[in-house]
Amino acid sequence: MMESWRWYGEFDPISLAEIRQTGAKGIVTALHDIPYGEIWPATAIRARKAQITEAGFAWQVVESLPIHERIKRGEGDLAPLFANYRQSMANLAAEGVTTICYNFMPLLDWTRTDLAAPCADGATCLRFDAVRMAAFEIHMIGRDAAQQDYPPEVLSRAAIWFQQATQNDQQALLAAIMAGLPGAFDRYDSAGLRAALSAHEGIDRGVLRSNFKRFLGEVLPAAEDLGIRLAVHPDDPPRDILGLPRIVSCQEDLDWIFAANDSPANGLTLCSGSLGANPHNDVVAIAARFAGRIHFAHLRNVRKDPDGSFEEAAHLEGDTEMVALIKVILAEQARRRAADVPARQGHDIPFRPDHGHHMLSDLSRDLIPGYPLIGRLRGLAELRGVISGLSHV
């Protein structure tokens, strides 16, 4: 397994020199300053690669090459957007990038309600609180239909939270929910979010699946020709949110995706935290079922509450059996070697430690939520130990 580290380029307070000391070999990054739908210029990709290689790293994985919202909505003439996506893939392939992580979540990316929830040991973590999310949907942006999405106890507690919340509390909640959006674009206030949601009216699960299938049909042939593997990231959280459908949340969804287009370039980013936040998902079983489709992995853990809330746990704690999960990935790597998978596709599955706790001196640094230095270093060290131990059994 290739140890990798997510880096946000010029937006990241953590330097490549600091990352070098973690022992990671690969950088996972993107051109976060380019608006969605525009071509990633070859010159910009080449400059980013030079920056990474000069620092002593490999760049094999892009996270993410975003999909324009009009493609997700199936809106207007999409031919130029599909052409731009294919050209960006070609420009990346020319510089040796082999894997593109992406998601098909409408409007929002990962969603949390707390960016610094307290942990018992004094660290902080990301948290999704069902009560605060219900309060946001129902009382802050006036989505009355959300009453049907939460159990009565959560609705009652949400009303109480909203009655007691200060303006600062509400602004902090909005900022936390917006924090999951990647890149430098599309942050909303409450009114702006309501307007953005209105553009998705009428897009149900079936429509979104149809639009996703069209996207796959438009880009996968080019990906095959280029030697690029696309790796869809599961929904985070793995449930409908703000009235928006989510279609990459469970085994059934993944079965549909790979049946919709059986191209070998149609693959999965195995995110143990995103899948693990769904109480009905057996993450280890899902990994085993789709092992041949795993092109990239995010290894993290979550601890779930009965009301639908969850928070980031330490990498070897939480509800997912991380040792068993890594054993599945190592077995798939061994299968690929035995099958003599072409070198460009690679035998080793790149992974990165995801969403570490903010701890120690990181607590005094202004870091990207969920992406601290020390918390991810701890996670990487723990995962490295598991991998090393399993590799020598």
* Per-residue pLDDT reduced to its tens digit, 109-140: 899 999 999 999 999 999 999 999 999 999 99
> Which parts of the chain are beta strand (E)?
2-6, 26-29, 58-63, 99-102, 114-118, 124-128, 229-232, 266-271, 294-299, 301-304, 310-313, 350-353
Residue 153 confidence (pLDDT) above 70: yes
CB atoms < 10 A from the CB of 45, how many? Answer: 21
Specify whether the CB–CB gap between 95 and 229 falls below 8 A: no
Among 200, 315, 355, 357, the one annotated catalytic: 355
Active site residue 200: no
How confident is the model at residue 190, as a pLDDT?
83
Residue 225 confidence (pLDDT) above 50: yes
Active site residue 355: yes
Among 233, 295, 315, 358, the one annotated catalytic: 233
What CA–CA distances, in Å, run from 226 to 79, 88, 100, 178, 322? 20, 11, 12, 34, 33
180, 143, 50, 134: which is closest to 309 by C-alpha?
Answer: 134
* CA 240, 104, 7, 176 torsion-angle sign: negative
The per-residue pLDDT for range 39-51, each reduced to its tens digit, is 999 999 999 999 9
Active site residue 250: no
Q: What is the mean pLDDT of residues 302-312?
A: 97
The per-residue pLDDT for range 167-224, each reduced to its tens digit, is 999 999 999 998 876 544 566 888 888 888 998 999 999 999 999 999 999 999 999 9
Cα–Cα distance measured from residue 35 to residue 32, given in angstroms and rounded to the nearest whole number: 8
Q: What are phi and psi of 5, to 5 degrees?
A: -145, 130
How confident is the model at residue 275, as a pLDDT?
98
The per-residue pLDDT for range 67-93, each reduced to its tens digit, is 999 999 999 999 999 999 999 999 999
Does residue 103 sit in helix, strand or coil? coil
Q: What are the start and end residues of each CATH 3.20.20.150 domain in the chain?
A: 2-110+201-391
Among 85, 188, 271, 315, the one annotated catalytic: 271
Among 85, 102, 150, 371, the one annotated catalytic: 371
Active site residue 233: yes
CB atoms < 10 A from the CB of 262, how many? Answer: 8
Pick from 185-199, 254-268, 308-322: least confident: 185-199
* pTM of the predicted structure, to 2 decimals: 0.95
CATH class of 2-110+201-391: alpha beta
Active site residue 125: no
What CA–CA distances, in Å, run from 294 to 1, 68, 88, 266, 333? 12, 24, 22, 9, 10
Cα–Cα distance measured from residue 196 to residue 187, given in angstroms and rounded to the nearest whole number: 11
Calculate ∠ Cα 285-290-294, nearest 5°. Answer: 115
Beta carbons within 8 Å of 380's beta carbon, 6+ residues apart: 3, 5, 22, 23, 24, 353
Residue with tokens 């094999």: 60
> Which parts of 219-349 are beta strand (E)?
229-232, 266-271, 294-299, 301-304, 310-313
Among 129, 149, 354, 362, the one annotated catalytic: 354
Active site residue 280: no
Q: What is the mean pLDDT of residues 214-242?
A: 97
Among 200, 298, 315, 357, the one annotated catalytic: 298
